[in-house]
Structures are given as structure tokens and as C-alpha cells.
Amino acid sequence: MAITAALVRELREETGSGMMDCKKALVATNGDKEAAIEWLRKKGLATAEKKSGRIASEGLSMIVVSEDAKKGVAVEVNSETDFVAQNEKFRNYVKTVADQALDTKAADIDAFLAETSKADPTKTVAEYNASMIAVIGENLKIRRFQQLEEQNGFVTGYTHMNGKIVVLVDVESDVDNEAVREMGKNIAMQIAALNPKYTSDAEVPQDYKDHEIAILTEQTKNDPKMAGKPEKVISGAVMGRLKKELKEICLLDQEYVKAEDGKQSVAQYVASVAKAQNAKINIKGFVRFETGEGLEKKNEDFAAEVAAQLKK
């Protein structure tokens, strides 16, 4: 029987296996699709689709920075359990994803998944991920990636809790030495700890500010202490509260966590390092990934998780 592209695609859709694996299975079984499914199952290559419906909300985030520190990438790959997330085989796989993402030209995750895998050029990134589902035994999902690049300075990063949180920071600087690199690392740790949403208030969308002003205005008007106060006083109070809120979500306005007096802002810390090193330094942006944030979590206790792993 002729092995057509349509038959290969059909087998791939039914099994979740890679295209080349499907073609090999059909060749081995003379084009018998049902026999090919059995062939793939025996090889352990037809398990991806069965597992793909499971919730993958654990996993690992990882950063990779180029040797010249001009470019970095953060990736998140999800698994079903934290048990597997700590497995060396899984961690090595995430490293291959990160290495590929460092140099990808893909603009989004769909384009990234469709490109040829560097780990196995016979597969796409998505197909190679499917093959790793069969190897590792859990549903795996390449959730996201984000690159940073800085030619007039460097990219640095920080990994917290073995990959639960990762941070990349874009540091523009005309001086690149140990002191400036240490500053970059300290900024990355600040981001990991306090989770700012923006680098500075200049990045905060006006519609966000308008929304907050509307809410704060209602709150202020309903405050018994502000009863009867003129509109100008209420407006001033609202803007004061907004400024305080923005200070918490904007990196450069946050209180620097390692400041000895507890009063130095991140911007003031950066300025002090710049002055000491006779440098011009600008924190241009950052990436912060927290593994599993915003994902539905599987309700399963640790004992059940271990028991499930032992049954595999």
C-alpha cells in the first residue's frame, strides 16, 4: 500500500506522534494504520495524545544568556507534577528548549512550535515535545518564551527557588565591570522578590491610570474623613494614593530591598552605582516568569503524587 502524506498526517493526528515516527510505522506495517498505531504504542511513541488532556501547571522556568551577555531568553515549560519538574531528564529537556529560544526568530509561541527542532531536525519543536511526553510520561507544554537583547550594555539574570521564578534584566551601560554586573544581579533579585509590573511609571498605560483614578475617587468620596471636602482636596488625595500605588508596581520607584536605611529607591541605587563607576546606566526593561502563574492547578497531595509516579 502506498504511504501517502495524507495517511501520515492522519496517523499523526490520531496518535500525537512525530511525523517521521508515523511514516516509519506505516512503512513497517505496509500502510496498515491500525497496525501502525500498535507499532507506535509498542515503541512508546503513541502516548502523547492520551496525556495531552491532563493539566500541566507545574514545571520549570529557565533563563539562558549568551556568552557575550548581549542576549538572553526566559522560557517556561510545564509538567503535570513538581515531582517530574525536578527530574534531571526534564530539566535537560527544558535547557534544549531554552537554547533554541535564545536564537529563534519566531514572533510568538505558535511560530516557535512550528520551527525545526535543533535537538532533532526531523521534527518540529512541537513534535519533539510530543516525543518527550512519551519519554517522561507526563503531559508537557512549552508555554512561553521571551527574549531580551542589549548591544550597548548587557543582559543579566537571576533564578530563584530552582526555577520557580526567573528574571532577566536589560542593562544599558557604557561601563561593564564587576560592580555594574553586581548591580544588575541585585536588580534581578529585587524583581524576583517584589514582582513589579513595569520598569517606570512612563510605561504604565494611561487607561490603567484612568481606571485606578476612577476607583480611588469613589473610595475617597466614600471615606467619612473626606466628607464635605472640596473637589480640589479630593483630587489631591486621589493623586497621592495613585502615586503610592504606582510606586509599588514600578521597579525604579520601588524601595530598594537591600537599602540599609530603607529609604533608597531602586532608581537612587542605580544612580549611586553609576556615580561610583563614572558610568551612564539605564535599566531599560525586564522579564519575570513565575512557573504556573495564572494556570489551573491540579488538586493532588504529595503522597498521591508519589504513588502515581511509582505506578508508571
Length of the chain: 312
The per-residue pLDDT for range 93-122, each reduced to its tens digit, is: 999 999 999 999 999 999 999 999 999 999
Mean pLDDT of 64-76: 98
The residue type at 90: F
The per-residue pLDDT for range 210-263, each reduced to its tens digit, is: 999 998 998 898 888 888 888 999 899 999 999 999 999 999 999 999 998 778
Q: What is the pLDDT of residue 306?
A: 45
Among 83-92, 194-203, 249-258, 300-309, the least confident range = 300-309
Among 2-11, 209-218, 297-306, the least confident range = 297-306
C-alpha 249/C-alpha 63 separation (Å) is 23
Burial class (CB in 10 A: 0-12, 13-18, 19+), 117: buried
User: Is-contact 142 130, C-beta < 8 A?
Assistant: no
Asked if pLDDT for residue 310 goes beyond 50, the answer is no
Over the chain, what is the mean pLDDT?
A: 88
Residue 263 Cα distances to 243, 256, 260, angstroms: 16, 8, 8
Q: What is the pLDDT of residue 44?
A: 59
The residue type at 23: K
Q: At what angle do helices 33-42 and 19-28 cross, to 10 degrees?
A: 110
Which cell goes with 178? Answer: 564587576
Asked if pLDDT for residue 204 goes beyond 60, the answer is yes
- pTM for the predicted model, two decimal places: 0.76
Mean pLDDT of 150-172: 97
Asked if pLDDT for residue 189 goes beyond 70, the answer is yes
